[in-house]
Amino acid sequence: MLVRTVVCVMLFACLSVCATAQEVGYTDLFDGKSLEGWTQRNGTAKYRIEGDSIVGTTSEGSPNSFLCTDKLYGDFELLFDVKVDNALNSGVQIRSRCEGDTPDGRVNGPQVEIEAGNDDGSTSGYVYGEAAGGWMTPDDERKPHNHFIRNEWNSYRIMATGSKIQTWINGHQISDLVHEDRFKSHPQGFIGLQVHAIGAGDGPYEVRWRNIKIRDLSGFVSLYNGRNLDGWKTTGNWLPQDDGSLMIEPREGESGWERYDAYLWSEKKYRDFVLDLEYAYPPGGNSGVYFRVDDRADPVEKGIEIQILDSSKTEGELGHHDHGGLIRTQGPTKNMSKQPNEWNHMIIACKGNHLQEILNGEKVIDVQLNEGAMKDRPLTGYIGLQDHGVPNNLKFRNIRIKELK
């Protein structure tokens, strides 16, 4: 009986850890070994595995070809690297499907553009409706840019949440598109890697993808509505901005960090969750994310904090007071700090005593809270953002949470 009990406890612990990792982290869409989970639709372009990449090669006389995930996705964050021959146009389908919902039907839906461009720039990162109405990004917003680097690997990030599609290339935001009509017609669908058709006598050309990862964003709710502080409690000077972000601008004379009522506190308590937010600090900016705070008048002793700090120039081993560090516990495994005034992306997941943090795409904290300095902290509490006083003006946006069962 004792053996069975021990086995059950170990199994439960393992399941809890695995569930948290799955919730907070990214799932690899390509395992580096096979194309399991993918199906080619339309066209006769060739897809093969070479090293850590999927390589698509054009086929003369073929229509557009697509290597598509068997699984469908609605709200998600998609990451990948891509390298394309200068003469080839390509793209990645999102929320797409086949006409008539048949395996051989014409692939249609939103497509994020991939093209090397020319000396005048590239239209990579804008959104096109493949067999779905043409360009979704308006003409006046579709301006050539130089963020896509020719003959090099380029890192893409795509966020699809509701009717909004946002794209970044090499850390630069390209698109912030809201398209209600396309969301109504394509609320979910497969991810597809396009090899474009070519003219007679052209090619062959190639496009390569690697590090293809996705994170399911279904079930998240916004903690900040972009307009006012409904759902929050504070005496601090937290100011909604026209771009939907939220700025903390300490008033004259408001200095120091022990002004706990000036922190921005959630009105609701949370236990097991995934918290997802973005923020930008000024040079030297200092703040923090508090969670599971039982007493908002004493968060340092009655809660948990992950540090927000401009550590962009910090070299060497990082401590718990550096950016991404778990205060009083450990520093981040890697310095992932963006430069001042750039947007950082933090994900915090708590399930029981298991805590994970992903900072700008890298897992930097993975601990069991009951095995360190936080072992006596509550498992339920408020979420808070720190007002560190003058001159620490910071902006926050896209503050979302998903409660875990």
CB 356 within 8 A of CB 224: no
Residues in the chain: 405
> 69 by DSSP, 3-state: which?
strand
Per-residue confidence (pLDDT) for residue 1, from 0 to 100: 40
Using one digit for the tens of pLDDT, what is the confidence trace for 50-91?
Answer: 999 999 999 998 999 999 999 999 999 999 999 999 999 999
Looking at the predicted structure, is the pLDDT value of residue 7 above 90? no
Per-residue pLDDT band for 37 (boundaries 50, 70, 90) equals very high
Looking at the predicted structure, is the pLDDT value of residue 11 above 80? no
Per-residue confidence (pLDDT) for residue 201, from 0 to 100: 83
Residue ranges of alpha helices (H) inside 216-313 are none
Per-residue confidence (pLDDT) for residue 9, from 0 to 100: 34
Looking at the predicted structure, is the pLDDT value of residue 247 above 60? yes
Using one digit for the tens of pLDDT, what is the confidence trace for 195-226?
Answer: 999 988 888 999 999 999 998 888 899 999 99
Q: What are the residues whose beta carbons fall under 8 Å from the beta carbon of 348, sequence distance 6 or more? A: 24, 274, 275, 289, 291, 306, 355, 356, 357
Place of tokens 């580096």: 32
Per-residue pLDDT band for 101 (boundaries 50, 70, 90) equals confident
Mean pLDDT of the chain: 91
* Domains detected in the chain: 26-216 (2.60.120.560), 221-403 (2.60.120.560)
Query: Mean per-residue pLDDT for 146-168?
Result: 94
Using one digit for the tens of pLDDT, what is the confidence trace for 253-273?
Answer: 999 999 999 999 999 999 999
Using one digit for the tens of pLDDT, what is the confidence trace for 121-130?
Answer: 999 999 999 9
Residue 100 and residue 295: Cα distance in Å, rounded? 56
Residue 222 and residue 399: Cα distance in Å, rounded? 6
Per-residue pLDDT band for 386 (boundaries 50, 70, 90) equals very high
- What are 215's two structure tokens? 């994170």
Using one digit for the tens of pLDDT, what is the confidence trace for 297-344?
Answer: 999 999 999 999 999 999 999 999 999 999 999 999 999 999 999 999
